[in-house]
Structure 1
């Protein structure tokens, strides 16, 4: 069974107006795309379909958690991810998805497959650089951080270094200041 069949939205029997569809996304979904940039994922997608007489408006929103390795320490952590996409589906002679927000499907279609749009939306929501939140707020203790010298500097030492850098004046600027005062 292809998992994409779970992400088909049949619109031919629906009345004109708004309809809501919910989908659960996990690792099985990404196995079909051979994508493994995370350890685990669990997300919920809600699709609001507004059926009109000549077109369909889709609003796709998702929220979830992706378990990813930290790029600094290598430790796994749960990263919250979310995203949304507005899509307009028009009808034409042949399929065309050249535009990012407009899709043209044949008049003969009675359902739309949103699996590829969900895939792109989720993959783009996971940042290229992943840093454990414990590094940013200073609560993570790790051998990698100790090795990198993260714990050696205290806030006081860092503030003193910044103050020294601000007080040091480049000798070239001193000569320029002297020109101004010699007038």
Structure 2
């Protein structure tokens, strides 16, 4: 948790207007999230905080690479990430349940913790199916591993086709 303290912005002493903050997101950041899909990465996070009378607008630009495992060949590769997001925080006492896009800041709050937001944005940017050959960087999946997987999966197909229950169903065609 000590690492995540650096991802808090104390806004009470800031003047109205725009303020920029830069953060490095690396392995120590992802270790703080126990069941994280991403275990390692080298990212830069630029946050522009626009403090106004009634609200704060946070503009995030997160870019760099995250280390992922390929779903096809299981080798690790670097996935490029370029994220642009915006978060609004309003000053007020009552929570706004209707819209998850808005954070409510109470009068006793002095800082905004953005670690959870950064983690969420990065996790959502990870592709659902990760494959190192889809990168466009000229790298293909590990051929030896794919051959081995095909070899191991080939034996199961023969056993499935010899199942007499399927033969009975094929006669119905």
SS at match of 1:107: coil
How many residues get paired? Answer: 149
Bigger radius of gyration: 1
Which residue is equivalent to 1:40? 40
Matches within 5 A, 1:3-152: 3-94=3-94, 99-133=99-133, 139-140=140-141, 142-147=143-148, 148=150
Q: Normalising to structure 2: TM-score of the pair? A: 0.76
- Residues 38, 69 of structure 1: 8 Å contact kept: no
Q: Normalising to structure 1: TM-score of the pair? A: 0.72
SS at match of 2:127: coil
Structure 1 unmatched runs, 5+: 150-183
Q: 1:131 deviation in Å?
A: 0.6
- CA RMSD in angstroms, aligned pairs only: 2.4
The 2-side partners of 1:90 and 1:37 are apart by 31
- Residues 38, 123 of structure 2: 8 Å contact kept: no
The 2-side partners of 1:121 and 1:68 are apart by 16
Q: 1:51 to 1:70 in 2, by over 3 A?
A: same
SS at match of 1:9: strand
Which residue is equivalent to 1:162? none
Structure 1 stretches (4+) deviating beyond 4 angstroms?
94-98, 134-141
- Residues 24, 43 of structure 2: 8 Å contact kept: yes
